[in-house]
Structure 1
């Protein structure tokens, strides 16, 4: 079987309020103001596909938030999104690989984050056979083509794969292609699903 894991809030906890909190402190803008302005718009999606550079994305987000941040300040906040690894999920990934199953990570991410999290959580990268990062392959979930890309690259059919993600739209898109998909709502979802299966 092919087991496909999302990264954020599946393997590693993330929290965008931490990002906004750092920017609020650095930019001297109330957190509530930034929360009301922040949205994952077209620039966000373009950045995740690698269609715009990190500095251009930073400029567009600062414009959206109406905040004056240097690029290093922007980056400091952007990397604050990561909270910590979910050890039970990581242990499951390692068990699956030890049994000879194929384990991959499929993440909507960006170059700035990819330059950061593997250095902070090397055990995550080591627990996967392959990393499919949206900015590297020029497509993002829930686009059907990204699931086709993973299946084709791995040499599996849709009915030979299980997908774990915390976003309902991503789950729906994978299910539409015939991939068994599990919506991850908290850190217990993955361990509970594998209870009795491993």
Structure 2
């Protein structure tokens, strides 16, 4: 069944996958950076998303030291090489890296490289994790 959609209608629907910004996570990102930690974002994206979400959510860009987008890298999570790329580019060791994701396959991919990986189940996962670390 064909649905007649304009590009604008399709694009708007495609962007609907993004959930609301989480100010508590942005605050944690800023606090980590203030403490001297490097904070990076690794996101699976496509051509439409690479232009949409960095512009729509500048708070993320401002809270991160760097944003790695799969569309730009030509690889996607959970491929081992995307995690290896970020580790190498940042000079991170797997044992000193914490990775958060809402996809279990992506968590498993990072775990296989020795990265501490936390499955985000709800909006409390990240704040709860850092409540212990940032006290």
TM bucket (normalised to shorter chain) is over 0.9
Question: Following the alignment from structure 2 to structure 1, what is the Cα–Cα distance between the partners of residues 54 and 77?
Answer: 21
Question: Following the alignment from structure 1 to structure 2, what is the Cα–Cα distance between the partners of residues 66 and 178?
Answer: 46
**Which residue, 62, 75, 83 being the options, matches 1:126?**
62
Q: 2:50, 2:71 within 8 Å by CA — same for their partners in 1?
A: no
Q: TM-score, normalised by structure 2?
A: 0.94
1:183 is the counterpart of 2:123: no
Question: Following the alignment from structure 2 to structure 1, what is the Cα–Cα distance between the partners of residues 2 and 44?
Answer: 25
Count residues in correspondence.
134
User: Displacement, 1:100?
Assistant: 0.7
The list of structure 1 runs, each at least 4 consecutive aligned residues, that deviate by more than 4 angstroms after superposition, is none
**Which residue, 32, 36, 39 being the options, matches 1:100?**
36
Q: 2:99, 2:116 within 8 Å by CA — same for their partners in 1?
A: yes
Q: Which segments of 5 or more consecutive residues in structure 2 lack a partner in the other structure?
A: none
Question: Following the alignment from structure 1 to structure 2, what is the Cα–Cα distance between the partners of residues 160 and 196?
Answer: 17
Over the aligned positions, Cα root-mean-square deviation in angstroms equals 1.2
Which secondary structure does the structure 1 equivalent of 2:100 belong to?
strand
Question: Following the alignment from structure 2 to structure 1, what is the Cα–Cα distance between the partners of residues 120 and 12?
Answer: 28
Which secondary structure does the structure 1 equivalent of 2:126 belong to?
helix
The structure whose RCO (Cα within 8 Å, separation 6+) is larger is 1
**Residues 132-153 of structure 1 deviation map (CA, whole Å, 9 limit, x = unaligned):** 1000000000000000000010
Which is further off, 79-88 or 106-115? 79-88
User: Displacement, 1:69?
Assistant: 1.4
User: Displacement, 1:82?
Assistant: 2.5
User: Displacement, 1:174?
Assistant: 0.6
Q: In structure 1, what is the equivalent of residue 91 of structure 2?
A: 155
1:81 is the counterpart of 2:17: yes
